[in-house]
Structure 1
Amino acid sequence: MDIETRIHLKDGRTIAIEDAFNLHKSFLDDFRTTRNNDGDLTFKDRDQEITVKAKNIVSFEIAILEK
């Protein structure tokens, strides 16, 4: 079983992050604060960093993928 986090954006795109454990409570607290200040959020996905505007995030989804 793998866990994936999907971040849905206002423009219809979805960012899939394979390691859902990167999104922990402190990250969600940062999201709330950053969203209110119109800031950027950076996600780490293995060796890659993805940056998006917090106000463009519609929802988060945690998916459990069976192998």
Structure 2
Amino acid sequence: KLQKIGFILFWLPEPLGITNAIGGPMILAGRYLDKVYNGSTIKDVGHATKKFARHVTEIKDNMR
């Protein structure tokens, strides 16, 4: 979805080119997320990050 929004912003006609500066990185980020997380949404990535952080905290607590 991030990649689609990036394409839309990239192709909007605008004299200053601000949308191109925003759209390009969004396209790249969307492609990266699609490769790494196999099409997961940003919400899924956030959930996985929280789960990983909890796991690291549990390991630290067990080492004490």
Q: Does TM, normalized by the shorter one, top 0.5?
A: no
Q: Report the TM-score range of the alignment, normalised by the length of the smaller protein.
A: under 0.3
Greater CA radius of gyration, 1 or 2?
2
Q: Point out the structure with the larger strand share.
A: 1
Q: Point out the structure with the larger helix share.
A: 2
Q: TM-score, normalised by structure 1?
A: 0.26
Q: TM-score, normalised by structure 2?
A: 0.27
Which structure's relative contact order is higher, taking Cα pairs within 8 Å and 6+ residues apart?
Answer: 1
